[in-house]
Structure 1
Amino acid sequence: MKLFELNLEQSKLMMIQFSPKTADPKIHGHGSDFQLSIPLIGTPFIQINNQDRKFQERWWCITSPDEKHYHYSNEAGSRLLLINLKKSFLERVLAERLERTVERLEFSPWVEGSAEGFKKMVTRMMKHTLDSSLHLEELQEFEYELASLLFSHTRGTHSKDWRMEASYNDHPSLRKAMDYIHDDFSNELDLDTLSNASGISKYYLIRLFREYVGQTPSQYIADYRLRHAEQLLRKTSCEVTDIAFEVGFGSLNTFERLFKKKYGMTASEFRKSV
């Protein structure tokens, strides 16, 4: 039984509940997708190419595009997190990172180690989709982060070249992106614009922000806009709606939601408190 399903441009997220002694409807593949199978509750099983295997503690697996498989449970039942990622997308992310064409992409099918990063990302995405709609840039960032996490936590043809490097001070491209945001935050900003301004790929830009700023580009932009809104609330008598649009938010609802999340109160309440 599907408890949750979300289809994005380059990925698909599913949470599946297996009752005792139940299985996928049939043996199947996923076309051009890699699929991550991550146990959440119980001890599920998987059959891949006619070979059965039980998920041991702290183990999860990756099935390759069109690799025939199915999941099933024992007497206790189980729950799985399934994450599909398009092969072409992963190849593009890797090519951008390595700055060269990827001739072959393969992963070791079994991974030993924590999958908490994936679980937290999907939980966060589930919560966002239930609470509010997400902007295209936020969805793109999520999928790039998902791909980065996959490459960082697995072994395969990518392992040798997948390295973190350099320091914040050695990244003029990151500085260019941040300067662009500071100069143009009141206008519409997206990943393509920042990528062009900084001269690096969207994936690399997201990774640099995550590694050295501690936020994604969209999170940094929103935070920067909120700081300016705070000053306007303190120093002017402008209407809250006018301030929201002046600092670059596309809707009052988005501004109010993010402002309350950051400051613990609405913008009107904040103005009265200062």
Structure 2
Amino acid sequence: MRKSKLLMEVPNGVFLLKKDFDQESNWRSDNCYKFIYSLNGAMTYQTNRNQLILYEQQFILFNPQDEHKQLAVDDKKFLIELNPSFLNEIARFLSPMHYYDIQFASFVQKYPQLTNWVQFVLQYVQLEQDEITESTEIFLEHSITQLALILVKSAVGTHTNDINIHTHKTIHPELYKTISAMKENFQHAWTLDEMANVSRLSKYQFAHYFKEIIGISPYSWLQIYRIIRSQEMLKNTDKTILNIAMECGFSSVAIYNQLFKRLYGITPGLFRRMVRR
């Protein structure tokens, strides 16, 4: 049986390259943030709220004590465990008013910046694989800091107030134009035809193109963006949960509550109480 290969343990995290083709069907929870990245093939994970399927260059994040189990891996994965105190210290450095621990959203994500980071780190480590030197340890220690910074700034979580789409402006201009329109009018009940028309693509071309680049469907992205906008209202206003759901474009408060809990494991009301302590 092929075992997971430990790359390196540094003060604020652990690097692992997983090459285990067997199922890890036991439920587990860890006292760390877990960044799991799909290098090739597909991976399937189960949580107590949803099932997550990752494809190449996609990643998921598990929060400390999140229950999860791996159901299947086609090839191999890159996994990093991050010290919670370290990551939240960086979050507070970037935003001094952020005083509660981050909860990352439970869904599949994909960002070019993280793909570039993973490729760079693995290439360096593979060059030094035969002999772990002091310079390698220093490199990986700084890489953990880089990863934490990228995750805090880019990955969706309870700390997020926007989704940065600037990287798509020159590389994927049609996509950038559509996402910008969706962000500007996120309360609107967008149809796939309307989204595709902004990109000047057929709705089938657009749906495939969007999922290939972003990692999820256009409608799922829009719902997650609505959740992000609602978080600011929960933190900074006294509006009712019903009013927030309606103002953010959800068709019902039940759907809003259901999606919020699926992403974070808590209800909007509990989130509001948590951030106002």
Per the normalisation by structure 1, the TM-score is 0.50
When normalised by structure 2's length, the TM-score is 0.49
Which structure has the greater CA radius of gyration?
Answer: 1
